[in-house]
Amino acid sequence: MSDSNADDRASVNGLSIGLKMFSCRSQPVAPGMFAIVPLLLLALFPPPGKELRVSSSAEDPALITRIKGLSPTVSADDARRVVYCAYTTGLDLRREWRVGGLATLLPGLQNLFIKMGARKGGYCFQYSTELLVRLDALKLQTLELHWAESQLGTMSENNAIVVTARGQPFEKGILLDNWRCQGHLAWTQVTMDPEYRWKESKSFAALVLQRANQDIPANHR
């Protein structure tokens, strides 16, 4: 779902944008179809060669194992701290932004509420910005953080965070997405995402962290 800054991305009425985002995300065709299909079904019956999982706890053993397995150099402690931080960040923001009901299955609905002024947050870039800042604060020794973006500048734009072993290519990493299920942590290997094709933006990651260090709220492009 596009969560681009309205001042930069659109010149039409905010409510109109919100309605477009909701309808786009609700169409039963790829790639938007997964927004209206329960993530449990997607996890149980992914397309061939694809995978999407949703963590059920801050100590998700499958995700910890997957991150630890990125490389023999990755420490178990770093893997555990990443999972705990990613999971609890999503829950914290879900409470702060009052996400509930159908919005957990229809991310575009939360976007619409924001456009209408009924909610203060819940865009994908907001989830990802906060997660990147919190993960960076952990000062991880064996893992690197990357800003991921997909379908940039479109109504289906999404952002997420990718973790890799130090020196490892972005494409080998594990994607962490708190937006797709609005506060519940969805994750997968970057190239196995059934809904999005991801690209790295090193410049935007640097901008987010620079603004965070200056105590300036990071707004998307």
Q: d(Cα 144, Cα 173) in Å, to the nearest integer?
A: 9
pLDDT, tens digit (0-9, with 9 covering 90-100), for 107-129: 666 566 667 675 676 677 888 99
Mean pLDDT highest for which of 41-55, 133-147, 149-163? 133-147
Q: Residues 134-148: what's their mean pLDDT?
A: 97
pLDDT, tens digit (0-9, with 9 covering 90-100), for 179-206: 887 778 999 999 999 989 999 999 999 9
The single-letter code of the amino acid at 27 is: Q
Nearest 5°: the CA angle 19, 87, 28 is 35
pLDDT bracket for residue 207 (50, 70, 90): very high
pTM: 0.75
118 closest CA partner among 132, 106, 103, 131: 103
pLDDT bracket for residue 145 (50, 70, 90): very high
- Residue 22 or 201, more confident: 201
**Dihedral sign for Cα atoms in the order 1, 196, 59, 212:** negative
What per-residue confidence (pLDDT) applies to 122?
64
pLDDT, tens digit (0-9, with 9 covering 90-100), for 150-184: 998 887 889 999 999 999 999 999 999 998 877 78
What per-residue confidence (pLDDT) applies to 36?
38
